[in-house]
Amino acid sequence: MKTMSTLGWIVFIFGITLLISGVGRLSGFFEYDSVIPNKSVALIYISMGFFVMFISYFVKPKKEKG
């Protein structure tokens, strides 16, 4: 069974943050004074969030020598 390292979890949480901020802007929860200027940029944030979450599964923990 594959386990994620600490770095993998940090990258995964960063991807979730991107995804939530993009969805929040797209749905209107975050208004115009947010970091994301318009709804087309929100789609980029959503796609980056999915991509970063996907990449986080490939960050493997160090193998111990033994």
The tens digit of pLDDT for each residue in 48-63 reads: 999 998 888 877 766 7
Residue 64 lies inside a defined structural domain of this protein: no
Residue 24 lies inside a defined structural domain of this protein: yes
Nearest of 51, 65, 59 to residue 5 by alpha carbon: 59
pTM: 0.74
Q: How confident is the model at residue 28 (pLDDT cuts 50, 70, 90)?
A: confident
> Is 23:44 a contact under the CB 8 Å cutoff?
no
Nearest of 31, 59, 35 to residue 45 by alpha carbon: 35
- Max Cα distance, the chain (Å): 55
Please give the structure tokens belonging to residue 36.
């994301």
Residue 63 lies inside a defined structural domain of this protein: no
> Is 3:61 a contact under the CB 8 Å cutoff?
yes
Q: How confident is the model at residue 3 (pLDDT cuts 50, 70, 90)?
A: low
Give how many domains the chain has, as a whole number.
1
Residue 45 lies inside a defined structural domain of this protein: yes
Tell me the residue range of the domain where 36 lies: 6-56
Residue 61 lies inside a defined structural domain of this protein: no
